[in-house]
Structures are given as structure tokens and as C-alpha cells.
Amino acid sequence: MAFDYEVGDIVKLKKKHPCGAFEWEILRVGADFRLKCVGCGHQIMVPRTLVEKNTRGLRKKTEEK
């Protein structure tokens, strides 16, 4: 399943961050994504292929109410 990743979206990954959060805010897209953990604010760089493989859901910023 293909997702349309955009800066500002919240991506839900299969793997849990040590702080307990599953959701990451997308700060940058490209060959590598920069993600910020919504739980603790920790930032990571992840290859796009890894993000795509581990995505369980994508919440568009435009859908946030």
C-alpha cells in the first residue's frame, strides 16, 4: 500500500519508540525522512524504504481538526 507522505503529517509505525509512542511527525521527506517522535520529541533520520515498510497508518495534517 502506498502512502502520500508530506511534511507535517503524522505517521504511525509498527515499531514502538522506547518512550512508548508509535506516532512520528514528518519534518522532512526525500530519500531519507526526518521524523520527530510525538511522545518525547526525539528526532531521527530514516531511509524512506524503511518508513514505507513499517507504516501502519498516516494521518494527514489537513485532516486534523
- 33, burial (CB in 10 Å: exposed 0-12, middle 13-18, buried 19+): buried
Q: Using CB under 5 A, which of the segments 5-13, 18-26, 28-36, 54-62 binds Zn ion?
A: 18-26
In sequence order, the β-bridge partners of residue 46 are: 33
State which of residues 12, 17, 34, 36 lies at the interface with Zn ion (CB under 5 A): 17
Q: Which residues between 29 and 58 bind Zn ion (CB under 5 A)? A: 37, 39-40, 42
| Cβ–Cβ < 8 Å for 39, 33 | no
Q: Which residues bind to Zn ion, rule: CB under 5 A?
A: 17, 19, 21, 37, 39-40, 42
